[in-house]
């Protein structure tokens, strides 16, 4: 790839971070065909925080909106939340989350991430899971970061039909369809 002018590269950097805020400096460097140091200098000049800073900022904004469960009950980091519509959470798979023999993540972590995210997007004082239909698509291992995206696809009375799709860096690893039931008034 031919060398790109600094202003164009910085514009491309801003667009990539806006589209995918979870990209690491290494991933951005690879995408833009520059060194990691160049990415860090560009981020500094543009006032773009490092990955942890971007995630922390998004999480703080999202956490303050949750109504139906306690913030600490959300499994993973709540990154984005639009009450009554959608949400995103991030879960990093650690050594204590996998089976010792196979080193594959225990399914209840992915279920818990999806279920608590589905509950968090409900705009009601309390919500419970009425029905869950889940599918584990591929094994997940230590070190993978899972990004779950939840969306309310239909509302019927006090029932919310929520779809959650969970991806690692390359593919969908888990999906769930929930019917969440709200209690109390909005």
The ranges assigned to domains in the chain are 6-48, 62-183
Domain 6-48 grouped into CATH 1.10.1130.10: no
Q: Closest Cα partner for 168 from 104, 121, 84, 125?
A: 104
What are the helix and strand counts (H, E) for the chain? Answer: 5, 6
**pLDDT at position 89, please?**
92
pLDDT 10s digits, 4-49 = 788 889 898 888 888 877 788 888 899 889 998 898 888 888 888 7
pLDDT tens track for 89-148? 999 999 999 999 999 999 999 999 999 999 989 988 888 999 999 999 999 999 999 999
CA count, 13 A, side-chain hemisphere, 41: 8
**pTM of the full structure:** 0.67
Compute the Cα dihedral for 135, 106, 127, 82 and give only its sign: negative
CATH fold for domain 62-183: Thiol Ester Dehydrase; Chain A (3.10.129)
CA atoms of 163 and 150, how far apart (whole Å):
6
* Model pLDDT, residue 66: 60
């Amino acid at each position: 790839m031919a060398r790109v002018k600094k202003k164009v590269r910085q514009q491309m950097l801003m667009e990539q971070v806006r589209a995918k805020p979870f990209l690491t400096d290494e991933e951005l460097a690879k995408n833009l065909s520059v060194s990691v140091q160049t990415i860090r200098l560009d981020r500094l000049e543009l006032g773009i925080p490092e990955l942890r800073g971007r995630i922390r900022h998004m999480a703080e904004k999202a956490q303050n909106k949750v109504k139906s469960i306690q913030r600490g009950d959300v499994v993973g980091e709540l990154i984005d939340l639009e009450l009554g519509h959608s949400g995103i959470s991030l879960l990093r798979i650690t050594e204590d989350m996998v089976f010792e023999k196979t080193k594959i993540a225990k399914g209840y972590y992915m279920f818990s991430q999806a279920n608590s995210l589905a509950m968090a997007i409900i705009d009601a004082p309390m919500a419970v899971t009425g029905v869950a239909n889940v599918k584990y698509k591929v094994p997940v291992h230590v070190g993978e970061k899972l990004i779950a995206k939840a969306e309310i696809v239909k509302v019927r009375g006090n029932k919310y039909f929520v779809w959650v799709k969970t991806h690692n860096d390359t593919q969908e690893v888990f999906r769930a369809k929930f019917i969440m039931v709200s209690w109390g008034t909005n």
